[in-house]
Structure 1
Amino acid sequence: MTQFASVSLASSAINTTPSAIPGSPNDNYSRLLAPITVGKKRFRNRAIMGSMHTGLEDDPANAPKLAAYFAERAQGGAAAVVTGGYSPNQLGVLSPYAQPFNNHEMVQAHKQVTAAVHEHGSLAFLQLLHAGRYAFHMESVSASATQAPISPFPSRALSDEEVAQTVQDFANAAKLAAQAGYDGVQIMGSEGYLINQFLSSRTNQRDDRWGQQRSLFALEVARAVRKAVPADFLVDFRMSMLELVEEGQTQTEILELARGLEEAGVDMLSTGIGWHEAQVPTVITSVPRAAFSWATALVKKHVNIPVISSNRINTPEVAEQVLAGTWDDTGVETDFVSMARPWLADPEFINRVQAGHANQINHCIACNQSCLDHVFENKRATCLVNPRAGYETQLTLQPINGGHVGAGEPAGKAYPEKAAPKAAVIGGGVAGLFGAEALAKRGYSVEVFEAADTVGGQFRLAMQIPGKEEFHYSLQSVLARLDAQNVKITASTPMTAHEAFAAGFDEVVIATGVRPRIPEIPGIEQAMAGEFDVDVITYAELLSGAKQAGNKVAIAGAGGIGFDVAEYLVEAPTSADITAEPTPATINEWESAWGVSRRADLPGNLERPHPPRAQREITMLQRKPSPQGLGLNRTTGWVHRISVAAAGVKQVSGVAYMKIDNDGLHLNVPVSDAVKTSKAIRKAQKAGDKAKVAELEDDLKNNRTDTVLDVDTIVLCTGQESVVEADFESLTEDQRSRVHVIGGADVAAELDAARAIRQAVELVSELKR
Structure 2
Amino acid sequence: MTFPHLLSELRVADTVLPNRMVMGAMHTRLETLDRPHERLAAFYATRAAGEIGLILTGGYSPTPEGVMDKDAPVLNSVDQLPEHRLVTSEVHKAGGRIVLQILHAGRYAKVPTCVAPSLGKARINVFPPRDLSTREVWELVESYAHTAYLAEEAGYEGVEIMGSEGYLINEFTAAITNHRDDEFGGSFDKRLRFPLEIIKAVRARVDSGFMVIYRISAIDLMDGGMTGPEIAEFARRVEAAGADLINIGVGWHESGVPTMAAAVPRGAWISAVRNVKDAVSIPVMASNRINMPETAEEIIASGAADLVSMARPLLADPDFARKTRLGLSTEINTCIACNQACLDRIFTDRTATCLVNPRAGREIEFKAGKAAEAKRIAVVGGGPAGMAFAVNAAERGHHVTLFEAASQLGGQLNMAKAVPGKSEFNEMLRYFRVMLEKNWVKIQLGKKATVDDLGGGKFDEVVIATGVLPRTPDIHGINHAKVLSYIDVLTGRATVGNTVAIIGAGGIGFDVAEFLLGDHDEGLKPSSFFKAWGVDATNATPGGLLPAAEHAPIRTVHMFQRKTETLGKNLGKSTGWILKARLRKAKVTMTAGASYSAIDDHGLHYSVDGESHVLQVDNVILCAGQVSNRELYAELDQAGVKFHVIGGADVASELDALRAIDQATRLAVSI
Q: TM-score, structure 2 length as denominator?
A: 0.97
| Equivalent position of 1:177 in the other structure | 151
2:448 to 491, 494, 497: 494
1:124 paired to 2:71: no
Task: State the partner residue of 2:26.
Answer: 52
2:581 is the counterpart of 1:634: no
What is the distance in 2 between the residues matched to 1:568 and 1:60?
Answer: 43
Aligned to 2:392: 438
Partner of 1:758 in structure 2?
662
Task: Say yes or no: does 1:222 pair with 2:199.
Answer: yes
Contact 1:345–1:362 (8 Å) recurs in 2: yes
Among 506, 509, 514, which residue is 1:567 paired with?
A: 514
- Among all aligned residue pairs of Structure 1 and Structure 2, give the percentage whose two residues are the same amino acid: 44
Q: Secondary structure at the match of 2:379?
A: strand
Given candidates 425, 431, 445, the residue that maps to 2:379 is 425
Offset at residue 654 of structure 1 (A): 1.8
CA contact (8 A) 1:497 1:728 kept: no
Q: Distance in 2 between matches of 1:108 and 1:730?
A: 55
Shift in Å, 1:353:
1.5
Q: Which residue identity lines up with residue 608 of structure 1 in the other structure? A: P
Shift of 1:602: 1.1
Q: Which one-letter code corresponds to 2:631 in the other structure? A: E
Equivalent residue number for residue 700 of structure 1: none
Structure 1 residue matching 2:191: 3-state secondary structure: coil
C-alpha displacement of 1:502: 2.7
Q: Considering only CA atoms, is the larger Rg found in Structure 1 or Structure 2?
A: 1
Which of 578, 598, 615 aligns to 1:709? It is 615
- Residue type of the partner of 1:585? L
In structure 1, C-alpha distance between the alignment counterparts of 2:616 and 2:395, rounded to whole Å:
54
Post-superposition Cα deviations, 1:689-735, rounded to whole Å, max 9, x if no partner, equal xxxxxxxxxxxxxxx32111101111100000110124546547973
Q: Matches of 1:333 and 1:651 in 2, distance apart?
A: 43
**Separation (CA, whole Å) in 1 of partners of 2:34 and 2:133:** 31
Structure 2: which 5+ runs fail to align? none
Alignment deviations for residues 575-608 of structure 1 (CA, whole Å, 9 cap, x no partner)? xxxxxxx995310000000000034441110010
SS of alignment partner, residue 209 of structure 1: coil
2:245 pairs with one of 268, 277, 280: 268
Q: 2:141 aligns with which of 142, 161, 167?
A: 167
SS at match of 1:206: coil
Structure 2 counterpart of 1:328: none
Would you say the 8 A contact 1:422–1:446 is kept in 2?
yes
2: CA distance between counterparts of 1:377 and 1:663?
44
- Over residues 493-520 of structure 1, what are the superposed CA-to-partner deviations in whole Å (9 max), with x where a residue is unaligned? 0113553133611111100000111100
In the TM superposition, residue 614 of structure 1 has moved relative to its aligned partner by: 1.1
Displacement of 1:548: 2.2
CA distance in 2: counterparts of 1:260 and 1:658, whole angstroms: 67
**Other structure's SS at 1:29 match:** coil
Amino acid at match of 2:483: V
What's 2:363 paired with?
Answer: 392
Instruction: Supply the distance in 2 between the matched residues of 1:662 and 1:139 (Cα, whole angstroms).
Output: 61
Q: Partners in 2 of 1:272 and 1:106 — Cα distance?
A: 29
Does 1:519 find its partner at 2:473? yes
Which residue in the other structure is 2:345 paired with? 374
Counterpart in the other structure of 1:156? 130
Instruction: Determine the structure 2 residue equivalent to 1:701.
Output: none
Relative distance call for 1:497 and 1:346 in structure 2 (3 A) is: farther
Residue 364 of structure 1 aligns with an amino acid whose one-letter code is C
Distance in structure 1 (CA, Å) of the matches to 2:12 and 2:287: 19
C-alpha separation in 1, matches of 2:600 and 2:69: 55
Q: Which amino acid aligns with 1:339?
A: M
1:102-501 matched pairs, under 5 angstroms: 102-212=76-186, 213-325=190-302, 332-401=303-372, 420-497=374-451, 499-501=453-455
Deviation string 1:184-220 (CA, Å, 9 cap, x unpaired) is: 0010000000000101111110011110310000100
User: Which amino acid letter does the alignment assign opposite residue 68 of structure 1?
Assistant: A
The count of corresponding residues between Structure 1 and Structure 2 is: 668
Residue correspondence of structure 1 range 686-765 to structure 2 within 5 A: 704-728=610-634, 731=637, 735-736=641-642, 739-765=643-669
Q: Distance in 1 between matches of 2:146 and 2:35?
A: 22
Query: What is aligned with 2:502?
Result: 555
Is 1:100 aligned to residue 74 of structure 2?
A: yes
Aligned to 1:689: none
Q: Pick the aligned partner of 2:44 from 54, 70, 76.
A: 70
Q: Which amino acid aligns with 1:481?
A: M
The residue type equivalent to 1:661 in the other structure is: D
Distance 1:227 1:541 in 2: 65
Match of 2:484 in 1: 537
Which 10-residue stretch deviates more, 624-633 or 58-67? 58-67
Residue pair 1:620, 1:650 contacting (<8 A) in 2 also: yes
Letter in 2 for 1:88: P
TM-aligned CA deviation for residue 625 of structure 1:
2.6
C-alpha deviations, 1:265-303, integer Å up to 9, x for none? 000000100000001000100100010011111110110
Task: Report the alpha carbon displacement of residue 262 of structure 1 after superposing the two structures with TM.
Answer: 0.3
Q: Look up the match of 1:29.
A: 3
Which of the numbers 546, 565, 581 marks the counterpart of 2:493? 546
Q: Which moved more, 1:647-656 or 1:434-443?
A: 647-656
Give the letter for the 1:223 counterpart. Answer: K
TM-superposition CA deviations, 1:220-262 (whole Å, max 9, x none):
0111111111111000000100100111111122111101110
Deviation readout 1:419-439 (Å, 9 max, x if unpaired): x31111100000000111110
Give the drift of 1:611.
Answer: 4.7
CA distance in 2, matches of 1:465, 1:211: 46
| TM-superposition CA deviations, 1:378-425 (whole Å, max 9, x none) | 111000000000000012244113xxxxxxxxxxxx6xxxxx311111
Unaligned residue ranges in structure 1 (runs of 5+): 1-25, 326-331, 402-413, 415-419, 574-581, 671-703
Cα pair distance change 1:494/1:59, threshold 3 Å: closer
**How big is the shift at 1:616?**
1.4
* CA shift in 2, pair 1:572/1:215, >3 Å: closer
- For 1:411, the equivalent position in structure 2 comes to none
Contact 1:60-1:105 within 8 A present in 2 as well: no
Change (3 A) 1:584 1:252: closer
